[in-house]
Amino acid sequence: VGKRYLLTEDDIKLQEFQQMKVAIRNEVHGNKDPYFKSIKEKLKKNGMILKNELKNLLHLCQTSSDVELARKVIYRYHEQNGMSALHNFKFGPLFMRLCYELDLERPAVELIKDQNLRGFFSESTSFHILMTMLFKKGHFESALEVLVEMKKQGIPFNKETYLLAFAICYKLDNLESCKISAKLLEEAQLKGDTLPLRVFCFAVATALKQNDIAQAKFYCSQIMKTENKLYNNLKVLVQLRSGSLEEVIKTLEAAVEVDTPPFVKKIEFSEQVLATVREKMEENPDLSAKLGEVYTKLQASGRITVCTLEDMLFQIPSSKKIPAKLLHQKQLGCQTAKPLRSNLLL
């Protein structure tokens, strides 16, 4: 399956950052050395670092040793200006975009956790970019640590934060992450935060992977937007794992009976989910025969997809009306997806 990117280009704004880098490089006629030299001099003489100097420096960095210098300058700048400067310009996301672009997670994690820089990363975007970078590399434990740090620093969570959090917990797939999911959901609901549909879907999938069917059922009941491919596939799995085999048939039949206008997306079922259903139904010849009939109808109406459940979890819905910019999978297309045998489906 294609690479998982948790936030869209809109959230990370990497392209914008790279365009700005080109513009600033042109200003120094492509030669950053004299500029870097003057900054090093300033550091030596304990001179005042100006906002624009730090801004330009971050845009001129091209290597990890450049970032090392930027790091020293950030400490000096923060020391000299403290909290007062932070209202003028947010350097946090800029530094994170730089680390994201150069694929440097270590300095990003170290700086965001450093007590001496408290307040420098004062907005959720910095944390989101870093969590996305760590997630992309499969470093889910580190991504969770960054989420915990964000909470510790009192940075308010928004829809993107919850989406990242639940995707991380889904990937970690252990009892601890299952508990974190439950706690976060409870806190969000107590605060009255509206959560994207996908957050609940991740919560259902995480509970299923942990074989906590009661919890999966509870999360499923919280989903209001039910005319949705992902929800219906999860619902089938929850019904299946609860032993409600007749209900599974009803859910599949209901999808066939819906007369979908041509411009509305049909509810599709994953071939992988249906294979799991078929396996479970084998013990019951009557239901197995019914499933065969429904399967044929689903196939005839183009309602079966090769997308796995995990593909669906990480797809950006085409509709931008759904709250929050949702998870993005680099489109290698679902066609290339190999069925994923996970304990989610067993």
More confident residue, 10 or 290: 290
Of residues 313, 304, 311, the one with CA closest to residue 331: 311
Question: pLDDT at residue 269 above 50?
Answer: yes
Token pair listed for 159: 């829809």
Q: What pLDDT is attached to residue 87?
A: 58
**Arithmetic mean of pLDDT over the chain:** 86
Among 135-139, 174-178, 330-334, the minimum mean pLDDT is found in 330-334
Q: What pLDDT is attached to residue 221?
A: 93
CB 2 within 8 A of CB 329: yes
Give one DSSP letter per residue of 1-40, joined into a string. -PPEESS-HHHH-HHHHHHHHHHHHHHTTT--HHHHHHHH
Tokens 């019914």 correspond to 290
The rounded percent of the chain whose pLDDT value lies above 70 is: 87
What residue type is assigned to position 86 of the chain?
L
Q: What pLDDT is attached to residue 233?
A: 97
Burial 184-206 (b: 16+ CB within 10 A, else e): bbeebeeeebebbbbbbbbbbbb
Q: What pLDDT is attached to residue 84?
A: 66
Q: d(Cα 343, Cα 86) in Å, to the nearest integer?
A: 47
Of residues 280, 275, 279, 258, the one with CA closest to residue 267: 258
Question: Is residue 332 classed as helix, strand or coil in its secondary structure?
Answer: coil
More confident residue, 95 or 259: 95
Of residues 28, 168, 7, 12, the one with CA closest to residue 99: 12
Question: pLDDT at residue 324 above 50?
Answer: no
Q: d(Cα 99, Cα 146) in Å, to the nearest integer?
A: 15
Question: pLDDT at residue 326 above 50?
Answer: no
CB 200 within 8 A of CB 219: yes
Q: What pLDDT is attached to residue 85?
A: 54
Q: What is the pLDDT of residues 114-140, one digit of tens each?
A: 999 998 999 999 999 999 999 999 999
Question: pLDDT at residue 86 above 70?
Answer: no
